Each structure stands twice: as C-alpha cells, then as structure tokens.
Structure 1
Amino acid sequence: MIVAQQDYSIVMEDLLALHKEGFSHMAYPEGIPLKRAWSDEVMTFDNQYDAAEFCHDNTSDRDIFNYQPVWPLYRAMEKGLDSPELLSIQGGMVDLSALLRDYYQVESETIKHKNNMDMNQKNLDYLQDQVKYTGFGEELRNDLKQKIEKGGDDFKLQHSTKFGNDTVEATLNFSKSKQSEMYFFNSYNVSLQKDGSAEKLDQTFYINKGNNITLKEAYNLMEGRSVHKELTAKEGEKYNSWVQLDFKNSDDKGNFKLKHYHENYGYDLEAAVSKHPIKELGRDDFKDSLMDSLKKGNVQSVTFQVDGKEQKHFIEANPQFKTVNVYDSDMQRLGSRESKSEKQSQGESQDNKRAAKTDVKDAEMVGDDAPKADAKKKRGQKV
C-alpha cells in the first residue's frame, strides 16, 4: 500500500472516520496509490475475515487485492508524523505497508501471538458454521479442525448421505489465503446415484458469501427442480431469482449451466399454488411453511379438496411455465387431469344453471317440442 506525500493527511482523516464508523479493515488493489481511504477503490469491513475473504475471491493473475487494519494503520501513520525517519519514501510515495510493519515491531510478541490465536479460532468457528448451514451438519467439525491444524495450501473433506433411496456423495474443497493464514470453503462436488441406477450425475456448487446453495437444494437441482435464491450481482447488488440446472448445456469445466428466472420474469409462486384446491392454504402457518419448502426445491405433500373429498397430492414449483407441477399419491404426473377435475368441481353447478336457463327460455318461446328439436340439431339432423 502506497500513498503520495501530499495525500498523507487526507488518508489519515479518512482512516479516523472509518474507525469511528465501526470499520476495522480495508481491502485495496495493490500497486495503485491510495488517494482516499474511503473511495470506490477501497472496500471496508467490520471484521478481518470478511476482508480476507474479499481479497481471496477477487485476486487473479491480473488483479491483486490486499487488506490492512484501519486503526493500527492510522496509529502507524500518526507515529510517522512524529518520527519522519520511519517513513520509507521513494519518488514522492510513502510505503504504508512498511510503515505498518515497523509499527508492529514495537508490539510485544505475546500480544501478536494472542491475536493470531484468536484469529485462527474465529476462522475455525466461521468455517464450522458455514459447513453446518450449507447442509452438512456438525459431523465434519473435528475433521475440519484437524485439517486446519495440519496446515497446507488446500484440503478436502468427504461427506455421504441419502435422500430417500438416492445416495449423495459430496467432496468439500478448502484452500488457504495467499494473503493470510486463513482458510476458505470454496466449493463442493456432488455425485448423485439414483436408486437402482448404475450411472452417477456429477455437479460442482460454489460457495457464495451469505446465501449458499445447500446440499438438499443441490440434490433438488440435480433432480431437475428449481430453487429460489437471493443472489449477488457483480456490482454487489442483491436480487432474487429462481435457478435450475440446464442439462443440455455445460461450461468448460463440465458443469451444467444454470438457468435463471429473475423477479421480472413474472413468476408468482403463491398465485400459482392458489389456483389449486389445496387444503393447507387455509392456515397461514401451513401456507408459509409450504411456500418456504417449495422455494427450496422440495416436492411437497398437500391435500386437494375435490367434490367434497380429500386427495393426497404432491406439488413442486415450475417457474419456467409460471405454474406448479402436480403429482398423485404414487408420484405420477397428473398433467392436465388435475385441472380437469378442478374445472369439473368448480364449474359443474354453473354449467347446470346455464343449461337450465336455456331450456326454460326455449320452452317459453316455442313450447314443449323445443328441447327435442334442439337435441336433434346437436346431432346434426334436420328438424
């Protein structure tokens, strides 16, 4: 990190403002002089892990990001004003990274060791929670801890489970940051073997901060269903979208591409579900649970009320056609049959009323022979 001498005081003022706002770390592109500590080129964070994760995710062969602590950097620059001999200046540029290193050298080794121990524990706690809430439970906690303590640039963890009679094998991939001692959960590979099938289906799912595709959602996607997720655009803006695997197209790594049905696509799940005579929609708590389950890509059991009778059906979201797929109790797709039953149930009385009105009207106009004549016309005979 470098700064022009004329911008030194401005950067200090910005660092103080960041500290007062509660930001603890800042990430920046290497090689570009820092003009302001609060600018479009600088990302700010309230903890070290998020700053390190940002640098890890955004560093490439072309762009290199690094991070620094806000308050220690301010104190180091403050010390540099009091002791100019600490400043490393070349071509009118001050090396802030070197200044910060010199500042830390006066700290006791005990404090630095404690800080490293605290950060390592936070890293472990964060990864254990991330693995848990991505759907792998807590059984990998000890394995994860042992792998981190062993060290190395990267490592993998294995997980196996069943959904129904289907077997799912997963390999979790971790790597060490190039800028720090912290590790990151990057992705997991899923291999799905259907019950009774010798063939396996493979797909890699990448970890995104905040709203990962869980293992159960991954299984649902590999089954061909759709999942509703909150995603983050490159510009950092969040948006909601349904995602579905495109089994006809793969990327250069052999992964099936994702089809997206954004909010502006116009799929209203609640409206699509409400078109069916589902008993559970009558209670708000059941309704909310039903919607949440469908958004995760699950096939959900529901009760249809048709002609005064209750029938067990299963439904799943179908955002592509802005509807829901309906299955009978044997998981056979109903197709148009369920809509036919619904129409018969909902419109039978209306049809009878219309027929009765027509018969009465014809009888009033031409007498008792009118219904018979009308029947002959329907058969295509002359009257």
Structure 2
Amino acid sequence: MIINTADAEILLSLAKEMASYKYRYIAYPLTLISDSDTIQFFKTSMHAEDYYLVGPNDIDYFKSMPIDSLVNNLKIVMHSGIDTYCDKELDLTAFARQQMESREILENNLNINIMNQKNLEFLASQIKYTGFGETLDGALKEKMEKGEKEFTIPHEAKFDRGTLSSELSFKKSDQSDLYFFNSYKAILEKEGASHAPEQIFYVSKDNTITMKEAFNLLDGRAVNKDLKNKEGEVYNSWISLDFKNPENSGNFKLNHYHQNYGYDLEAALSKHSIKELETPKFKEDLLNSLKKGNLQSVTFVVSGVESKMHVEANPHFKTVNVYDANLQRINHRESREEKKENALDKKESKEQQKDVDGEPEGGGQKEGKKRKVKSQSI
C-alpha cells in the first residue's frame, strides 16, 4: 500500500472511526496512492474480495487487508519520527515491516544485555560467597565481554601458614550466552615446604567448598559441612583430604566422616582443660571455628596456670590435635596427663577446703590424731 506521508494522521483517524462501526476489512488500489477517497471499507472479507473481483482485471489493481493491520501500520508511521507534514510517497507495508524488524532487533539486544548483566551479577555473587570477595568483578566483566568460550581468573590469598593461589574456571553454555562458574584449582604454598599440594574444587549449588575451607583442607585439617546427596537429602559430615590416595584425575580423595561415624567434637574438647569451654559464647565460637577447619587459639589451664595453645578437629581419631604456642604438636598422652593433673589439683583443693570447714574449734589436732591412729590400725 502506497500512501502520502502527509495523509497518515487522517487515514489513521478514519480507520479507527470505521473500525468503531464494526468495519473489519479494506480494499485499496495497488497502482494508485491510497487515501481517504480510494480506500474502501467492508464488514467482511468476502465483501472486500467481491469488490476487487467485479471486473476481470480488478484483481490486478486492488487488494484487501484487515483494518487492524492498517491501523497498526499507520501507528508505526506516526511513532517512527518520520516527517508527516511533507508530501512524500511511502510504501506503508514495507515501512512498517522494517520498523518492526528493527524494533525486534533492539529488543533482542536489550534482552541480551539484561541477561548478560544478570549473569554477571549472579557470577559476582557466587564468587563472593565462595570466599573470593569482590575484587574479581572487574576482571570477570572484562572476560565476559570478550565472549570467549572458556576463561580463567587468578586469585591469591595470604594466610599466616601459607599462600593459597587459585585459578577460577568459567565456561559458556552450549545452549545460550550464559557463563557458569564451574570450579577452581587451589594450590597451597608454604615457606620451606618441598611440595605444594593442589586440588580442584567443583562449584555447585549445595556442596561448594569455600576458599578458606579449601585452604584448611590443603593444610591437612578437616571441615564440617551440611551437604546434599544425589537424592537431594541433607546430611552432615566432616570431610578431609586423603593425601596418601590421589585419584586418577590428580585430585586427592575426599574422606567423609558422617554423623553415624560417632565423632563428637564437644566431647573431644571436654577432655582438655580449655578455659573457653567455661563460657557458653566462647564455647560456641570455638566449636564453629573448628567446624570450619580452622586451627584455633585457646587457653589451657593446668595447675592454675594459663597458657596459650592451639587446637584442631581430628574426626578420624575422634579427638582434637593440640599444639603449643609455637605450633609444635603435643601428643595426646601429654594432654591427658595435663587434664588429669588439673583434675587432681581441683580434688585436693576441695578436700582441703572440706577439712577446714569440718574442723571443730580447739580440738582439731587431737581429733586428727585419733583418725590417723584408727586408720593405721586397719
């Protein structure tokens, strides 16, 4: 349909009015400019077709279309920004199609941009809560904008007992432009160590190992986590790396100590004279720290003397490992002797207090001698 751009507004008003009178189709000339005089309105498609089939050659000169299509095409012209005050011929149907295609491309690009932004935000959040913080956001955005199929981002974290170097791996989906944070490789380097253990930790919705937990695992400690099995059931387990049994993939095997294994961290701690266990808040903090796999500083009290020690969970032997202030391991027997000695001190103190409280005035020595003699006679 060819129209004059200056007639677009008038034609739109006319088409809307005729539609309000329940006219649903139009017939328009193919070789002439369509205007209010040459366009015919009909209530049915049959009447519109009959109009251009009256003469044997009319089909070559007229065509019909739904009135709604005419209204929509004219609206596109009015909202396109084209100058509708000048007399200019315009192929209405072709122009409307081109505008719709351009709009669709823009909307698709907008949707892609929104999707990419949401993907970026999701990955940034995932990186943050896996323990790598927010410093990688810039590198992540730059890598995603390049559109590569796969990419990695390095990260380094320094701890008192070593440096953890990580390489985060990302991959684009085969079905979309979305990227996924699949795994990270962690390497623990310690000064003076001849070997730097490394492990690939896989990132999932429920069973992800955080960066600090990875450090603790590679440093030889166990971590307590709530995990999900293949059936989606939640279970609690201590996990540690089995450095003696590497898998074919190069990863170390993960040892699991489930709830029914019988490791009671609180009971294991109670075998030692740890001051923090006497305060509920400090006790809770200590338990939580050890469950994260940390080597935790504590205060031992032996014979009334306080000393700084360090402890770590040892689910395999259902105990805790104890280290002195210089991080030298104290064997379990020594620790038990300290506990026993401390208990004896408390017992003797109570007995002495009992003797003092039960001693009568003026006759303490005499009664004491009588009890002693009687005891010897037995």
Partner deviation per Cα, 1:299-329 (whole Å, 9 max, x = no partner):
0001112222211110001111111111111
* Aligned-residue offset at 1:152: 1.7
Counterparts in 2 of 1:264 and 1:188: CA distance versus 1, 3 Å: same
CA distance in 1, matches of 2:268, 2:112: 53
Cross-structure match for 1:316: 312
The answer to whether the aligner puts 1:139 opposite 2:139 as a matched pair is no
Q: Is the 8 A contact 2:206 2:228 kept in 1?
A: no
* Aligned-residue offset at 1:144: 0.5
Counterparts in 2 of 1:198 and 1:327: CA distance versus 1, 3 Å: closer
Counterparts in 2 of 1:150 and 1:309: CA distance versus 1, 3 Å: same
The correspondence for 2:343, drawn from 322, 346, 351, is 346
The answer to whether the aligner puts 1:364 opposite 2:374 as a matched pair is yes
Structure 2 residue runs without a partner (length 5+)? 1-100, 356-368
TM-score under structure 2 length normalisation = 0.63
- Secondary structure in 1 aligned to 2:134? coil
CA distance in 2, matches of 1:117, 1:324: 52
* Aligned-residue offset at 1:198: 4.3
- Secondary structure in 2 aligned to 1:169? strand
- Secondary structure in 1 aligned to 2:171? strand
Q: Percent identity?
A: 50
Higher mean alpha-carbon deviation, 123-132 vs 112-121, is at 112-121
* Aligned-residue offset at 1:147: 0.6
CA distance in 1, matches of 2:227, 2:243: 21
Cross-structure match for 1:303: 299
Partner deviation per Cα, 1:127-147 (whole Å, 9 max, x = no partner):
111111212121111000111
- Letter in structure 2 aligned against 1:338: S
Counterparts in 2 of 1:347 and 1:366: CA distance versus 1, 3 Å: closer
CA distance in 2, matches of 1:289, 1:212: 22
- Secondary structure in 1 aligned to 2:325? coil
Partner deviation per Cα, 1:168-205 (whole Å, 9 max, x = no partner):
22111111111221111111111222112343222111
TM-score under structure 1 length normalisation = 0.63
CA distance in 2, matches of 1:223, 1:165: 8
- Secondary structure in 2 aligned to 1:142? helix
The answer to whether the aligner puts 1:238 opposite 2:234 as a matched pair is yes
Higher mean alpha-carbon deviation, 162-171 vs 236-245, is at 162-171
CA distance in 1, matches of 2:124, 2:134: 8
Cross-structure match for 2:244: 248
* Aligned-residue offset at 1:298: 0.6
Counterparts in 2 of 1:115 and 1:265: CA distance versus 1, 3 Å: same
Between Structure 1 and Structure 2, whose CA radius of gyration is higher?
2
Cross-structure match for 1:380: none
* Aligned-residue offset at 1:110: 4.1
- Secondary structure in 1 aligned to 2:169? strand
The correspondence for 1:203, drawn from 195, 199, 202, is 199
CA distance in 1, matches of 2:339, 2:348: 14
Q: Is the 8 A contact 2:188 2:219 kept in 1?
A: no
Q: Is the 8 A contact 2:150 2:171 kept in 1?
A: yes
CA distance in 2, matches of 1:360, 1:166: 67
Structure 1 residue runs without a partner (length 5+)? 1-104, 371-383
* Aligned-residue offset at 1:271: 2.2
The correspondence for 1:212, drawn from 208, 212, 227, is 208
CA distance in 2, matches of 1:208, 1:269: 27
CA distance in 2, matches of 1:315, 1:360: 50
CA distance in 2, matches of 1:151, 1:343: 65
CA distance in 2, matches of 1:332, 1:297: 18
The correspondence for 1:273, drawn from 241, 257, 269, is 269
The correspondence for 1:129, drawn from 125, 129, 134, is 125
The answer to whether the aligner puts 1:222 opposite 2:218 as a matched pair is yes
Cross-structure match for 1:57: none
* Aligned-residue offset at 1:350: 4.5
CA distance in 1, matches of 2:206, 2:195: 33
Cross-structure match for 2:279: 283
1:1-383 alignment, distance < 5 Å: 108-164=104-160, 166-335=162-331, 336-348=333-345, 350=347, 363-364=373-374, 367=377
CA distance in 2, matches of 1:187, 1:275: 39
